[in-house]
Amino acid sequence: AQKVTQAQTEISVVEKEDVTLDCVYETRDTTYYLFWYKQPPSGELVFLIRRNSFDEQNEISGRYSWNFQKSTSSFNFTITASQVVDSAVYFCALSEETSGSRLTFGEGTQLTVNP
C-alpha cells in the first residue's frame, strides 16, 4: 500500500533563511509519481511539481528545488531565501501506477516564515 510521511508537522524560520521540507514515501510499484502541493491560508491547493520514478534528476524552479532519491525513498523540497509569502501548508503526495491514479497525501508541513 502506498504511504507518504512528512515527519515535520511545523517549521518556523526567519525570512531569507533556507528551509527543507522532508518527504518519505513507501510503495511496492516500480512506476510511481510524486507531487508537491502548497496550501496557502486561502485554502486552495496549488500544484508545484510532478516527478516520475524514472527521473531522479533534481529540479530547480526559481527559489524552489527538489531532491529525489530513490535509494532513501525521499523527495525533499527546499526553499531558498524564504519569504513571508512562502508561509503555507505544504503537502507531498504519491500516485502508484497500479492504483488507478489515486493520490495519497502526507500529513502536511506547516511552514511559517517570519519577517
Partner 1 sequence: DVKVTQSSRYLVKRTGEKVFLECVQDMDHENMFWYRQDPGLGLRLIYFSYDVKMKEKGDIPEGYSVSREKKERFSLILESASTNQTSMYLCASSFPHGQNYGYTFGSGTRLTVV
Binding site for partner 1 (CB under 8 A): 9, 33, 35, 37, 43-45, 47, 50, 91, 95, 97, 100-108
- The gap from C-alpha 67 to its chain's centroid, in whole angstroms, comes to 10
64 vs 105 by CB, closer to partner 1: 105
Closest CB to partner 1 among residues 25, 35: 35
Q: How far is the CB of 39 from partner 1 (least distance, A)?
A: 9
CB 45 within 8 A of CB 38: yes
CB nearer to partner 1: pick between 18 and 26: 26
Task: Compute φ and ψ for 41, nearest 5 degrees.
Answer: -55, -25
* Rounded-to-integer distance, Cα 64 and Cα 61, Å: 5
* CB-CB contact of 106 with 89 (8 Å): no
Shorter beta-carbon distance to partner 1: residue 9 or 71: 9
- Closest distance to partner 1 from the beta carbon of 23 (Å): 12
Q: Measured between alpha carbons, how far is 21 from 111 in angstroms, rounded to an integer?
A: 9
Minimum CB separation from partner 1 for residue 82, in Å?
Answer: 22
